[in-house]
């Protein structure tokens, strides 16, 4: 089977800069990435190679390529991902972005509120059994299975704060790990939650059914279309910011502090 396999997998974490990094790597002259983000190929049944052949079919030869699916980096999915990589992708590197656990959690919660999928308070949502907000900040539960199953040499861990804030050292290290020559890091950030307005009910319906891109092609004035779909008012943004900035219960703060310590023990 003549199949092009990914040179890397960008596995999350959710709300830790994966979209920005995916777009930035796509701008590198030595890389070419598919338009589709979050294909989640390794979570499907059977041999993933035909799906990768289709995903990469239009890309030019002799460049680095890969995919980005933040769901791969959920602790509940990582065993499946490691097994698939071990069986089908012997030369693929995993790239995992991590962000301060509390800041990632708050961004994640705001993201869900902004889309209208979360109606609970921050305290209720983070203390619920199996809270996804806490789970996605358990980086240790993702890194350890990768190291145990594939070896530390197959994994690059990148801190969000360093990637966004340093003078390029973290970006240069990542390019080197991927076998890409030096290239200035782009400055545009993508898919940031903090600057987004509240989805209106119709927009939520379109988004959840995967129809947002089709709506974007309609020949309606951009301003009018956006007002129909998204509440961009200052009041809406303040409500989202206030909800995401609410105090965390002590039990959740303790969990997140433990995650900071566990992460430091692995990568610092």
Q: Which CATH superfamily is domain 8-192+258-267 in?
A: P-loop containing nucleotide triphosphate hydrolases (3.40.50.300)
The structure tokens listed for 149 are 């199953």
Greater confidence, 174 or 189? Answer: 174
Average pLDDT for residues 66-84, to the nearest whole number?
A: 96
Domains of the chain, by residue range, sit at 8-192+258-267, 193-249
| Residue 212, pLDDT above cutoff 60 | no
Of 35, 130, 143, residue with least CA distance to 97: 143
Greater confidence, 116 or 151? Answer: 151
Cα–Cα distance, 137 to 197 (Å, whole number): 24
Q: What is the pLDDT of residues 241-252, one digit of tens each?
A: 999 999 999 999
Radius of gyration of the chain (CA): 19
Q: What is the pLDDT of residue 5?
A: 94
Q: What is the pLDDT of residue 236?
A: 86
| Residue 209, pLDDT above cutoff 80 | no
Of 138, 115, 112, 137, residue with least CA distance to 125: 112
Kindly report the number of other CB atoms within 10 A of residue 226's CB atom: 14
Greater confidence, 90 or 189? Answer: 90
Give the alpha-carbon dihedral of 27, 178, 191, 134, to 10 degrees: 180
| Residue 224, pLDDT above cutoff 50 | yes
Q: 97 has which bridge partners?
A: 158
Helices and strands, counts by H and E, the chain: 14, 6
User: Containing H/E element for 98?
Assistant: strand 93-98
Q: What is the pLDDT of residues 125-140, one digit of tens each?
A: 999 999 999 999 999 9
Cα–Cα distance, 117 to 97 (Å, whole number): 24
């Amino acid at each position: 089977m003549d199949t092009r396999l990914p040179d890397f997998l960008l596995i999350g974490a959710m709300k830790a800069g994966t979209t920005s990094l995916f777009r930035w790597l796509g701008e590198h002259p030595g890389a070419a990435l598919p338009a589709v983000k979050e294909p989640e190929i390794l979570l499907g049944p059977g041999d993933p190679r035909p799906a990768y052949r289709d995903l990469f079919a239009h890309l030019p030869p002799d460049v680095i390529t890969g995919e980005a699916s933040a769901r791969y980096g959920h602790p509940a999915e990582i065993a499946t991902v490691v097994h698939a990589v071990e069986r089908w992708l012997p030369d693929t590197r995993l790239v995992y972005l991590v962000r301060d656990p509390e800041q990632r959690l708050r961004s994640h919660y705001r993201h869900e509120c902004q889309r209208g999928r979360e109606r609970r308070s921050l305290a209720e949502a983070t203390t619920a059994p199996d809270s996804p907000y806490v789970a996605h900040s358990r980086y240790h539960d993702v890194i350890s299975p990768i190291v145990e199953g594939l070896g530390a040499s197959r994994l690059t861990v990148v801190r969000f704060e360093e990637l966004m804030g340093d003078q390029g050292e973290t970006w240069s290290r990542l390019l080197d790990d991927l076998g890409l020559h030096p290239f200035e890091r782009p400055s545009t950030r993508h898919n940031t939650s903090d600057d987004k307005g509240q989805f209106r009910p119709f927009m939520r319906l379109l988004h959840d059914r995967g129809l947002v891109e089709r709506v974007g092609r309609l020949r309606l004035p951009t301003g009018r279309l956006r007002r129909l779909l998204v509440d961009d008012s200052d009041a809406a943004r303040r409500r989202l910011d206030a909800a995401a900035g609410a105090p965390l219960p002590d039990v959740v703060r303790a969990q997140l502090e433990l995650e900071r310590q566990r992460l430091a023990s692995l990568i610092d």
